[in-house]
Structure 1
Amino acid sequence: MKILYFHQYFNTTEMAGGTRSYEMAKCLVAADHEVHIITTWREPTEKTDWWQESIDGIEVHWLPVRYDNTMSFAGRIGAFFKFALKAGQRGCRIGGDLVFATSTPLTIILPGYRAARRLRTPLVFEVRDLWPKLPIAMGALKNPLTRWLAICLERFAYARSDAIVALSPGMAEGVIQLGYPEDKITIIPNGCDLDLFTPSEVAANKFRTKHPELGTGQIILYAGTLGRINGVGYLAQLAHLMKDRFPEVRFVTIGHGSEAERTHQLAKQLGVLDVNFFQYPAMSKQELVGAFAAASVSCSLFIDLPAMWANSANKFFDTLASGTAVAINYQGWQADLIDEHECGVVLNADPDKAADDLSLLLSDREALAETGRRARQLAQVRFSRDKLGQEFVSVLQNAYDKSRQV
């Protein structure tokens, strides 16, 4: 098959951010499919129009459209629709046998549907977040008309798709509740890159050597977006509460986002900045390997918002793959996994109570190491990227085969 793969935020392992589309596209290429990624280049560039390059057998079509987590809501919406318009045109010119569109943003359905309809191909849609449920819950979509339009777009996406891939059971349930047939939904969560994140003392030592300010004590890591929904100030509060209990422990954030400066200022006010709390800019996934290897605990964090419990955060699965104990501060299916497989801790949303939970985890180093081993085992058994990639290829192949039977 020749596959048009629409994703506004495509990244390789040499870039900062999630790499699911890159990994899944490689699985498609390995299965002898021709894959064209239609995406954006978000960094500053002198280029003003499309350009194309081949990456590991994937044909990547870049369009320069500025976007980052610090932009205003209006600025982000503008970026979404600019890409949607031009991506649809690009897809129609490239042509293909199947269209795959992955959110967020939900506006990705517009170029996906346009290309699928023009080319008369099946359309498979991937749900990475229950949008617009999340921005509505966060108060980002306040205008009733905007909310109504967003809900209509969500229903349009599901109704026009021949099959849907959901990243968690909660996301699948959200789609089903809107009337989409359950038998057309496949749950394929974010996977674990077992080769990239193989536990390595060499990588851990390299990271510590590069950052001598961290010392030799235990590291509590947060590697991901510092956005409003993540509430990473929670980690600065934990660092403050833990400073006297475990003075050698270091709390580390790696990433960027709209709340980075606010988190920085909070840590400074609490007297922990560059004492036991350290902030570093975003790193590529390859660079993060050493950070995960050095960490004793790695966190996935969100503000206290039940709408986020269905998430499938990359950092959670990278933690499992690295054989590191995982800590989260929310409920849902990931909390159930942690409890069932004893691979980490579900922290209380209240930092004062969470400090007690974290202290208990850190106090027994032997038990903590065993917790990390169980995390790696869960990654191998349930979330191998290779296994999930094969399921993904099958979903697209089945959608194509069914379209040819009509």
Structure 2
Amino acid sequence: MARALAARGHEVTVACGRYEGARTGLDGPFRRGLREGRVAGFRVVEFDIPCSNAQGLAARTGAFLHYARRAARLAMGGGFDLALASSTPLTVALPALAAKRLRGLPFVFEIRDPWPELPRALSEARLGGGVPGPVLAAMDRLATAACRGASAVIGLTEGMAETAIARGANPARVHVVPNGCDLDLFGPHVSRWRPPEVAPWEVLAVYAGAHGRANGLDTAIDAATILRNIGERRVRIVLVGEGSERARLIEEAARRDLRNVTFLDPLPKPWVAALLSGAAIGLHLLAPVPAFAEWTAPNKLMDYLAAGLPVVTNAPGRAARLVEAGDDGAACGLAAPPGDATALADALAALAADPARRTAMGAAARGRAVRLWDRRLHAARLCDVLEEAAGVSPLARAA
């Protein structure tokens, strides 16, 4: 998205923290708590603020607030014409609101996860550690202020856009710009890589993403147990990433002696692309929380489609619709009921036993990625929204 904005002639600054496993393209030392440089045609400011999914609530909250303070100072002193506050975390709205109030800087609020709607749903499902009521109330006020104060609001899904309108955002200024597929990074052109312990005949079902309670990866462990017990030895489940549940999941897989499960540490995106190229199935899992149906847009699902993999998902709603038969009449995956380990195991076994079906679904996935989900199409739409919010007309940009 930043590259697309830079290609249109805009001066772009991306401000980020130091997220574990991520690569910004900067490798110099941190000075006064930050380092900066140009990457792919735009400026990157990386604050020395560690953050990871494995951190507890207090540590992550501290990181979010520290980032908000540093980003506010940058926004108010950088000579910018527009700020894009991309949430989560919701605290990214704080520097945007501060810069608007103190400098008159307009901002666009992007909702990539609806907070506090999702934390509240997770708390009710006892999957989020229980966010205190006063914290949820403060989130409510901040989300409402961001939606009403923004020059435009972007949601990754129609469901997220509806949450903004419910908070008072002007419907005419609410847009949907979904996650897209990186067709250059992922695809059949990428050299394949498989972990050394994988047998040549094994069918790899890869999950690449966070290992938190909301991801529901116990279902994968249960499905692997079922496959082992019925003698299905063709399927190996590969879980890539980190999070608060990872250590427990590894311990549980070892306790059950599951030799059909492999855990990998977080990988840089090019390595994930190589792993997906060597895999046969993309695995998309979430805990059985009804709010996930329309309020989530995992980019791992887009990566699987771009890689040309058939997808097995246990998420209802939007994710299930994405893998069902489209206008071309071809499905690009299978949907299992939420939390149903037996159905998940059955879906994996069915695809493992039918290479021709996997090939057809994989071709449908890649074709749909090219036609509908090319990230460049969505980047152009994002640029249009930001330029309109900044008051930049197409003629002025062309000049």
CA contact (8 A) 1:169 1:333 kept: no
1:70 aligned partner, one-letter code? A
Name the % identity.
31
Aligned counterparts of 1:46 and 1:176: Cα–Cα separation in 2? 41
2:243 aligned partner, one-letter code = G
Residue of structure 2 equivalent to 1:393 = 383
1:267 aligns with 2:253: yes
Structure 1 equivalent of residue 226 of structure 2: 241
Taking structure 1 as the reference length, what is the TM-score of the superposition?
Answer: 0.88
Describe how 1:100-111 pairs up with structure 2 within 5 A: 100-111=84-95
Confirm or deny that 1:347 pairs with 2:336.
yes
Q: Do structure 1's residue 34 and structure 2's residue 11 form an aligned pair?
A: yes
1:334 pairs, out of 319, 323, 331, with 319
Matches within 5 A, 1:2-401: 24-42=1-19, 47-139=31-123, 140-200=129-189, 203-204=191-192, 207-208=193-194, 211-243=196-228, 244-272=230-258, 275-309=259-293, 310-341=295-326, 342-348=331-337, 349-401=339-391
Does the CA-based 8 Å contact 1:225-1:255 persist in structure 2?
yes
Q: Give deviations 1:133-192, integer Å, cap 9, x for gaps.
A: 111122245422222111111101101101011101111122222232222111111110
Indicate the residue corresponding to 1:16 in structure 2: none
Deviation for aligned residue 1:400: 1.4
Aligned 8 A contact 2:148 2:167 in 1: no
For 1:111, the aligned partner's letter is P
1:350-378 CA distance string (max 9 Å, x none): 10232223322332210111001101111
- Residues in 2 aligned to 1:234 and 1:214: alpha-carbon distance in whole angstroms: 24
Q: Which amino acid aligns with 1:396?
A: L
Question: CA distance change for structure 1 residues 178 and 214 in 2, over 3 Å: closer, same or farther?
Answer: farther
94-103 vs 140-149, which deviates more?
A: 140-149
Q: Distance in 2 between matches of 1:327 and 1:40?
A: 33
Q: Once the two structures are superposed, what CA deviation does each residue of 1:286-323 show, in whole Å capped at 9, x if it has no partner?
A: 11111111111111111111122221111000000000
Offset of residue 119 of structure 1 = 3.4
Q: Comparing 222-231 with 353-362, which one deviates more in the overlay?
A: 353-362
Q: Residues 47 and 307 of structure 1: is their aligned pair in 2 closer, same or farther, counting only changes over 3 Å?
A: farther
Partner of 2:324: helix, strand, or coil? helix
Q: Which runs of 5+ in 2 are unaligned?
A: 22-28, 124-128, 394-399
Amino acid at match of 2:376: D
**In structure 1, distance between residues paired with 2:375 and 2:366:** 13
The answer on whether the counterparts of 1:227 and 1:259 sit within 8 Å (CA) in structure 2 is yes
Distance 1:26 1:43, change over 3 A: same
Q: How many residues align?
A: 376
Q: What is the rounded CA distance, in whole Å, between the counterparts of 2:151 and 2:283 in structure 1?
A: 36
Q: Secondary structure at the match of 1:71?
A: coil
List per-residue Cα deviations over 1:171-226 (Å, max 9, x = no partner).
112222223222211111111011111214x612xx13x52434332111001111
Distance in 2 separating the partners of 1:263 and 1:214: 23
Q: Distance in 2 between matches of 1:281 and 1:215?
A: 22
Supply the AA of the counterpart residue of 1:69: N
Conservation of the 8 A alpha-carbon contact between 1:298 and 1:327? yes
Unaligned runs of 5+ in 1: 1-23
CA contact (8 A) 2:153 2:169 kept: no
Moved more, 83-92 or 100-109: 83-92
**More displaced, 369-378 or 90-99?**
90-99
**Secondary structure class of the residue paired with 1:219:** strand
Which region of structure 1 is more displaced relative to structure 2, 333-342 or 164-173? 333-342
SS, match of residue 345 in structure 1: strand
Distance 1:280 1:171 in 2: 32
Go from structure 1 to structure 2 and tell me whether the alpha carbon gap of 1:340 and 1:43 turns closer, same or farther (over 3 Å shift): closer
Q: Secondary structure at the match of 2:391?
A: helix
- Rounded Cα–Cα distance in structure 1 between residues aligned with 2:387 and 2:73: 24
Moved more, 36-45 or 70-79: 36-45
CA-based RMSD: 2.1
Who is 1:20 aligned against?
none
Aligned-pair CA distance for 1:88: 0.2
Kept after mapping to 1: 8 A contact 2:226/2:345: yes
Structure 2 distance, partners of 1:338, 1:149, is 37
